[in-house]
Chain A
Amino acid sequence: MSVRDVLAGDELSRPLIISGVVLFIAMLLLPRFIGTFHVNTVTRILILAFFAMGFNLAFGFTNLPSFGHAAFFGIGAYGTAIALDYLGSEMVFAAFLIALLAAMVFSVFMGLAALRGRGIYFALLTFAIAQFLYEVAFRWTEFTGGDDGLIMIVPPVFGFEIAGPENVYYIALVLLALLTVAMYRILNSPFGKVMAAIRKNDTRTGAIGYPVRRIQLTVFVLSGTLGSIAGILQGLNNMFISPSVLFWQQSVDVLVVTIIGGSTTLLGPIVGSLFLVLLREAVRGLANIGIIITGIVFILIILVASDGLVGVVREYLEE
């Protein structure tokens, strides 16, 4: 499913819907068949996929090259942990809300600041702001535990355990499914069409009367908030947060994953996340060859296959 397909026709073919539902059900049942370790791996894929999909809303679909999305990821994670610390660990939903609101507010400010530049300058601004947040968090050790990180203790909610990979798996799966559907609906909506117009030529779109800045800001805030949800999931999953969630490596990760999967496609972020996490698992013993391979694949995709892995598969299927 590419953006082109998705935008061209809103007839979602029957087989596609059915296979989507089947896949979802299969994923729900999966944990019973694979060990805890593998569940953890899949959970990490789901979280990264969620993060990347939210990211791609801004990056791929509206041409806002954010190099600082780690900021939202980190605010989600740290926000929840710190809120739980201060409010007491029973106020779980309040903590989530606080983290989300913090991310939303931050994304407004970050968006306003970064949108003063276009293209490269937007990218640099997001990079700088996010890195600034990292440096602050890293140093403000009384608040954030600095390099040692923060431990997150989350009690059961309504009798359900929500921390740890076995539980976050389901939460992440449902959220990812919802996001995918929501993304599809957004892209096909009038708003989605304006996003596409801005992506193709923001000057012209502005010239015919659309409030481009405002739309870009809206998309950016939405994207950032989604990113913070991913951060919350990450915190729940590991029950531990280190400053690395804010480091620009995290921003690069989500960017790389999205592009490898295909930033012009709906499912690209998911495919890319699958690729990256599986690759890292596969080469664990071989001392970080994974980074090299990721880099090479990344460059190749940029030079040769701009629609990413999804694009490659689609072309292959169309042969």
Chain B
Amino acid sequence: MDSLPLFVTPLLDGLSWAVMLILIATGLTLIFGFLEVVNFAHGAYYMLGGYFVFVIVDAGFGFFAGVAGALVAVGLLGVLTERLLLKPSYDFGPITQLLIMVGVALVIEGAVIYIWGEQAKGVSTPALLDGPVNLLGTTYPLYRLFLVALGVIVIGAVWLFLERTRYGLVIRASLTDKEMARAFGNDIPTIYTLVFAGGVLIAALAGALMTPIRGIGPSTGATVLLQAFIVVVVGGLGSFRGSVVAGLGLGMLDILVARYISFRLSGITIIVVLLIVLLIRPRGLFGVKGVMEE
């Protein structure tokens, strides 16, 4: 029982990051699974979530207003992106759409540097959630526990949406048989927009929530993107379950390796996992077979 406190902190750190990572990865994997778009700008939307929170808090409106504002703003941006850029270009193929999203990532990154400069920004933990909590013999920041709780709720909500709503059914069906699913609805275009906007919105939520912990800077998008990609590929492109499991595993692995083995290895461990997975089981944990031979 004595050594428990030693494990608690890194484990919970890992868990709080893993949960955020799952949020990001879920959006990315669903966008790929349903729209067949590799959203290269997913990290950029995450980053925007952080910047919007910063702006709103800086203007004096408080953290929760900031998060809400970030969600609305990025949600709108998501709708705009899908309607204006993706809808007209579905016929060009997934690689072209990937490239378009590369362009979007560039524009967002440029805009961020242009408006806010190269220096990282920070936001302080909201007073309501600040402070330590006594837990299993040690103290732990309340905010991080809040992250875990909120993250689990949102993940649960997404799961419910996928399992219990009609839209969710179409999305899930589409992952196994695209043509068939298309045949079942005339509001498919709406679902397209919904999935994209929803996906980036959740990423922005994670970005907003992580800002008090890690701050936000112009290179945050790129770093997060890479990690999210790894989770998505390891979990299986298009698989919600996959991104949850892989997000949990990789998120915890990354933090724990950094704490217990070597700080230098943080970030690299998951890339190694990615390479191994890509070479041995490219479809990922829960991916659909044959999907590599696209």
Contacts and interface: CB of A to CB of B under 8 A. Distances in A.
Partners in one complex: yes
Interface of A: 65, 113, 116-121, 123-125, 127-129, 131-132, 135-136, 139, 248-249, 252, 255-256, 259, 287-296, 298-299, 302-303
Contacts of B264: 139
13 contacts: A117-B293, A119-B95, A124-B38, A124-B233, A127-B229, A136-B268, A256-B102, A288-B113, A288-B114, A292-B111, A298-B102, A299-B85, A302-B96
B103 A292 contact: no
Interface stretch (B138-146, B197-205, B244-252, B273-281): B273-281
A299 B103 contact: yes
A117 B113 contact: no
Interface in B82-136: 85, 88-89, 92, 94-96, 98-100, 102-111, 113-114, 117
Contacts of B89: 302-303
Contacts of B114: 287-289, 291-292
Nearest to B41: A295
B103 A295 contact: yes
A207 B189 CA distance: 37
Nearest to B271: A132
B103 A123 contact: no
A120 B102 contact: no
Contacts of B117: 287
**SS of A interface (majority):** helix
B226 interface: yes
A299 B110 CA distance: 14
Contacts of A131: 226, 271
A249 to B, nearest CB: 8
A302 to B, nearest CB: 6
Nearest to B96: A302
A270 to B, nearest CB: 20
B69 interface: no
A119 to B, nearest CB: 5
Contacts of A289: 110, 114
Given A252-B106, A289-B110, A295-B106, A118 B294 contact: yes
A290 B230 CA distance: 30
A274 B269 CA distance: 39
Which 4 pairs across A and B sit closest by C-beta, in order of nearness? Answer: A291-B110, A295-B106, A295-B107, A292-B110
A290 B110 CA distance: 7
A292 B106 CA distance: 6
B153 interface: no
Contact of A298 (B103, B109, B111, B292): B103
